[in-house]
Amino acid sequence: MPKYLVMTLGTGSGVESGLAYSIRVHNPDRVIFLASKASEKTIERIHPLVPEYKDRLEIRYMKNEDDVERCAIEALECLRELLKTGTRISDILADFTSGTKAMTAGLCMAAVGMGLQQLSYVSGERDPVTGRVISGTERVLTVHLGLLTAHEQKRRMVSLFNRRHFAEGLTLASRLADSYAIPELRDEFKNWRVLFEAFHRWDLFDHVGAEREIKALDKGFIEHYGLNLDACKEMLGRISEKMSKLAESPPAKVMPVVFPELLADLLANAQRRAEEGRYDDAVARLYRACEMAAQLALLDKGHNTSCLETDRLPPEALESLGLTPDVKGPVMIAMERAYLLLRALGDERADRYLDNPKLRNLLTARNRSILAHGVNPVDPEVCEELRKEVVEICGSFVEKLDRLMRLAQFPTISIEL
């Protein structure tokens, strides 16, 4: 990966010595000068001092070398262009040895804003008359910005995690983990990447992947941010174990992926979508949870809604499904008929759905949603009312559902940075 040295360029006689010294010390693959029109002669004086770098020098003229905001914007544009080419932040160094005060301040502002790790400048013994570094006494000094920028990035990580913006946090943490040269910072952002990866996967119902990532988190990182992941590990462990057992089932005995922990996790996921204002997504999950509760109850009675064996059902159960005794082969039934079947099998809990006009009316919000059969957006009030109804009916089918839902809640980082 090529290394870049971005330097502000002044006009004073003698500055070329210090700039040439900086170039030789840093030995970049390319040097980009942020210059004013008046500094063209400075470039001419630099060439003979670093002839081997002549083809690596690039000049970008600033529109107003005395406007600090304009200088900062143009420096930002330069740095962004480099990053767009795939250059890593750790491969860009900014040198503010020369130039007007506005130019050097603008470059420093841009470097901090873009998260550069280092600033550089040339110091040494100064001429008492001109104040310039005397040739032959130069030394390069480095300002490590990593610790300064990392603090703000950590605060951003905490904010993204607490707002459940896991995909955004994952992208940012991955970039930062590859950018910082300081080992401690690099390792910390690698842990942030693992943390965001874990909860991003969990939010997408990849419980096995989420469990794997959480197990990879460094204990010191967990303790530093006060993360209590015991409940998360318990829930993911229970779900992953049951998922593994279902995956090992013979093809002829494949059972539906429904169990209490998954139902609780689905309800917790729906709550997170509602908190984000994604009410259509929340209602879609609530509808599935209501259906899953019936599937779970029927599964406990030995009936699979995805492959219902009609020859094992009594006549009154077949009648409730609108089927005749001579029907052949397994059939698939959806939520409405699942609750009808439960009632026919003597399960009074089905009445909580079938005799609940409020719940059934609220469920029409899902049918009218763009994620189902309509185009109407779901109102937040409808979403919350439906959530309460669905949680209540699911609670009648799953023992200690409230505890399982607490296990499925995502933690919050409360530490102040």
Structural domain range at position 192? 146-250
Of 139, 75, 82, the closest CA to residue 107 belongs to 75
Of 103, 137, 82, 94, the closest CA to residue 35 belongs to 103
Check whether residue 178 and residue 279 sit in a common domain: no
The verdict on residue 83 lying in a domain is yes
Q: What are the tens digits of pLDDT across the range 225-258? A: 999 999 999 999 999 999 888 877 765 555 678 9
Beta bridge partners of 58: 32
Using a pLDDT cut of 70, give the percent of the chain over it. 94
Of 180, 182, 175, the closest CA to residue 196 belongs to 175
**Domain C-terminal end among 218, 250, 282:** 250
Check whether residue 128 and residue 183 sit in a common domain: no
The one-letter amino acid at 170: L
**Domain C-terminal end among 250, 278, 312:** 250
Say what the pLDDT of residue 226 is: 95
Residues in the chain: 417
Say what the pLDDT of residue 143 is: 83
Beta bridge partners of 120: 95, 142
Check whether residue 320 and residue 382 sit in a common domain: yes
Check whether residue 271 and residue 402 sit in a common domain: yes
The verdict on residue 118 lying in a domain is yes
Q: Evaluate whether 185 touches 144 at the Cβ level (below 8 Å).
A: no
| Angstrom distance (rounded) from CA 130 to CA 126 | 8
Check whether residue 82 and residue 201 sit in a common domain: no
Q: Evaluate whether 67 touches 101 at the Cβ level (below 8 Å).
A: no
Q: What is the CATH number of the domain that holds 86?
A: 3.40.50.11700
Q: Evaluate whether 75 touches 106 at the Cβ level (below 8 Å).
A: yes
Of 71, 78, 95, 82, the closest CA to residue 22 belongs to 95
Average pLDDT of span 151-178: 94
Average pLDDT of span 216-231: 96
User: Looking at the predicted structure, is the pLDDT value of residue 339 above 90?
Assistant: yes
**Domain C-terminal end among 250, 284, 317:** 250
In angstroms, the Cα distances linking 212 to 194, 235, 244 are 10, 13, 14
Average pLDDT of span 343-348: 95
Binned at pLDDT 50, 70 and 90, residue 371 comes out as low
pTM summary value: 0.76
| Angstrom distance (rounded) from CA 44 to CA 37 | 13
**Backbone phi, then psi, for 143, in 5-degree steps?**
-105, 120
Check whether residue 191 and residue 271 sit in a common domain: no
The verdict on residue 416 lying in a domain is no
Check whether residue 125 and residue 155 sit in a common domain: no
Task: Please report which helix (H) or strand (E) contains residue 357, including its range.
Answer: helix 357-368
Task: Give the orientation angle of helix 166-177 with respect to helix 146-162, to 10 degrees.
Answer: 160
| Angstrom distance (rounded) from CA 276 to CA 163 | 8
The one-letter amino acid at 365: A
Check whether residue 377 and residue 337 sit in a common domain: yes
Strands (E), 97-148: 118-123, 139-144
Check whether residue 265 and residue 346 sit in a common domain: yes
The verdict on residue 417 lying in a domain is no
| Angstrom distance (rounded) from CA 330 to CA 306 | 9
User: What domain count does the chain have?
Assistant: 3
Say what the pLDDT of residue 215 is: 96
Average pLDDT of span 166-173: 96
Residue 159, both tokens:
């904010």
- C-alpha 130 chain-centroid distance: 52
Give the other-Cβ count within 10 Å of 239's Cβ: 23
Check whether residue 119 and residue 155 sit in a common domain: no
Check whether residue 158 and residue 120 sit in a common domain: no
Q: Evaluate whether 296 touches 259 at the Cβ level (below 8 Å).
A: yes
User: Looking at the predicted structure, is the pLDDT value of residue 79 above 70?
Assistant: yes
Check whether residue 165 and residue 262 sit in a common domain: no
Binned at pLDDT 50, 70 and 90, residue 41 comes out as confident
